[in-house]
Structure 1
Amino acid sequence: MVTLKDIALKAGVSKSTVSRVLNNKGNVNPILKRKVKKIAKELGYHPNILAASLKKKKTYTIGVIISNILNPFFTSVVRGIEDVAMKNNFNIILCNADENPKKEGVYIDVLRAKKVDGMIIATTGENKEHFSALEREGIPVVLVDRKVEGSNFDTIITDNKRGAFEATKHFIETGYTRIGFITGPINITTSLERLEGYKLALKKYKIPYDENLIKIGEFKEDSGYKNMKELIKMKNPPKAIFAGNYLIALGVYTAIKECGLKIPEDIAVITFDDFPWFQHLSPPLTAVSQPTYKLGAYAMKRLLKLIKEELPYSNKRRQIVLKNTLVIRESCGCKKG
């Protein structure tokens, strides 16, 4: 392995001069600087990241734990995180908890052991003991998409309650009153907030809340399929369905069509999450669009400020809420193809 000493010997300068050149520090003659960099390149020099980390007490590594790597929602979030990280010379270690609290806990411990400089986590909603340990150790953490109640971590989320309210309101203003809601686990804050938004819209328009129209499952396609089948079998099934995320919505679409029903003629559908290919579904799917890339980018920018101690790590957490947009297509029943 090529060392600073090897470069110094060939360049005829001191080791400290080579260090200043390669770290862009101090005043070094431009001609000498070019010479040193050329020799370093010829010799195939690569900096010893481990040694630099030990010296600076930083690994320039961020741990990112997401709840489901198969969900393209998180693909965009991670892209936002990575782009900002790379611009600031940080690398990321990506972990997939797969909506499994035990797996999430293991990854938190692994990242602590690896001495990452900070973490960005889309939590499963459990593991309060692990999060308490992160707080005690002063490890910078930013939560993304989901909150941990009672924690003091900064959180970057979208306005789930408002998004669900607008989706349900749109159904009501289109003429629907019997509206079903299929969502994921209520211990996850996104589920709870979307349910609250749904209830608020019903209350505003004086539509009775019917628990039989609510189905709690997983943020997965098979869960959406199973719960939609159960709703269709009701004596008085819903005429509209609000899906808690796009995976649930795909299951809803399949279940409705398997039962020989049409969207939106028999049952209208709106989902949380939006992707460009929704316009190619039959019929095109109306959705609450979230600024996913911005969600990840904001989370990384916030974490960098904590790491660089530009912001005090205190008992007063900050929550940043980004706006959602309702994208109207044909599945909601208000638009003809």
Structure 2
Amino acid sequence: MKITIKHIGEMAGVSAAAVSKALNGHSDISEETKTRILEICKQVGYTRNEIARNLAKGKSNMIGLLIPDISSPIYSEVFKGLDIQAREHGYCLFLCDTNRDIELEKKYVRTLMEKRVSGIIVAPVSNSVDHIEEITRNSIPIVYIGGKVNDNMGNYVTVDNFYGSKTAVDYLIKLGHREIYMVCDRDNTKTMADRIKGYETVMQENNCNPVVYVDGAGRKWRESGYFQTKHILSLGKIPSAIFCSSDMVAIGVMEAVLEKGLRVPEDISIVGYDDAAFASLPTINLTTIAQPKFEMGKKTFNLLYKIIKSHNSDYKNREIVKPELVIRGTCIQLKGN
């Protein structure tokens, strides 16, 4: 037999309404009665039907979170910031890994809508989110994060990638480097376009020739950095420094440099971007641009919470946070500078 709150009420000698109040923590019921009801629930293994409860309320205490790759070293820290803020405000996160698949992303959005989540946080798979907006039709608060964020999206939290890239290259220039290459695994997002633009701006301001290598073979991350650097070195080109579009790319760059018998940083200085968890390992010790990932997570939830409480899905707000240079051991001051 399925146990209902009516059965619990009969066992406790109270009404079904009193059981509901006890389960929802209402104050207009005595502690003695509440304790008795909760103990009976525990004994018979009763749990609330949250789906039915959400349908009745028209919303839930769940927040949907869509990320393109759960293995990404970036999103794990963002998630921690989101989670701590969500729990502080009485919400829990419903995590969905879209595996960089638009059809799966659409499926998860529909599922979250059916579950009556209070809001959705999306690190989108594509530069366009028209397919998401078509499903939600402005009926639920959404905040966007991640590398695909651009000005066609309503509410978002992102990093000032132009500033971060400029900061990295400025640092290399101050160390006396003039021949600085940039290695990217892709350039088809606003994030990457801003990082390239920041690099090129500083190089041009200092009368240096910008040289950007973008992987045209579809490789990503470490593999892209490795093969592109092997190609650069095979041409006999040995720049004094390489600025990488991400820390994952930088790992591949370091591998290729060391495989060639060159030293980091004595022969080639390297700067990454992201400050992934592995960047601080003693064997890597990568100088990089740190995205404030944990803080971004907190800011993203706070923005979503603000929209939820305003009861206005038309609310528009965009937050851009500044990254910081983290100096470690992969850069060197050139002699005579």
Q: TM-score, normalised by structure 1?
A: 0.88
The aligned counterpart of 2:325 is 326
CA distances 1:133-188 after superposition (whole Å, capped 9, x unpaired): 15634332111133544534211112211111010011111111111111243222
1:312 partner amino acid: N
Q: How many residues align?
A: 332
Secondary structure of residue in 2 paired with 1:332: coil
CA distances 1:183-226 after superposition (whole Å, capped 9, x unpaired): 2432222211111111121122222334xx43246542111111
Secondary structure of residue in 1 paired with 2:238: coil
What is the CA distance between 1:274 and its match in structure 2? 1.4
Secondary structure of residue in 2 paired with 1:208: coil
Task: Label 1:184 to 1:112 Cα distance change in 2 as closer, same or farther (>3 A).
Answer: farther
State how far apart, in whole Å, the 2-side matches of 1:198 and 1:103 are. Answer: 35
The aligned counterpart of 1:36 is 37
* Maintained 8 Å contact 1:219/1:244: no
Counting only pairs closer than 5 Å after superposition, residues 1-337 of structure 1 correspond to structure 2 as 1-25=2-26, 27-101=28-102, 103-112=104-113, 114-134=115-135, 136-210=137-211, 213-216=212-215, 219-275=220-276, 277-282=278-283, 284-308=285-309, 310=310, 312-314=312-314, 317-334=316-333
**Percentage identity across aligned positions?**
29
Task: Label 1:334 to 1:131 Cα distance change in 2 as closer, same or farther (>3 A).
Answer: farther
1:334 partner amino acid: Q
* Maintained 8 Å contact 1:2/1:46: no
Q: Root-mean-square deviation (CA), in Å? A: 2.5
What is the CA distance between 1:101 and its match in structure 2? 4.5
Task: Label 1:110 to 1:166 Cα distance change in 2 as closer, same or farther (>3 A).
Answer: same
State how far apart, in whole Å, the 1-side matches of 2:15 and 2:112 are. Answer: 38
Q: Unaligned 5+ residue runs, structure 1?
A: none
What is the CA distance between 1:311 and its match in structure 2? 5.9
* Maintained 8 Å contact 2:54/2:115: no
What is the CA distance between 1:320 and its match in structure 2? 0.9
What is the CA distance between 1:78 and its match in structure 2? 1.5
Q: More displaced, 136-145 or 109-118?
A: 109-118
Q: More displaced, 128-137 or 322-331?
A: 128-137
What is the CA distance between 1:104 and its match in structure 2? 3.7
* Maintained 8 Å contact 2:288/2:327: yes
2:25 partner amino acid: N
CA distances 1:82-134 after superposition (whole Å, capped 9, x unpaired): 23233334333323334444544454454445543322112233344313315
* Maintained 8 Å contact 2:186/2:214: no
* Maintained 8 Å contact 1:163/1:197: yes
State how far apart, in whole Å, the 1-side matches of 2:122 and 2:167 are. Answer: 27
State how far apart, in whole Å, the 1-side matches of 2:234 and 2:300 are. Answer: 43
Task: Label 1:26 to 1:284 Cα distance change in 2 as closer, same or farther (>3 A).
Answer: closer
CA distances 1:234-271 after superposition (whole Å, capped 9, x unpaired): 34332211111111111111111111111112211000
* Maintained 8 Å contact 2:264/2:270: yes
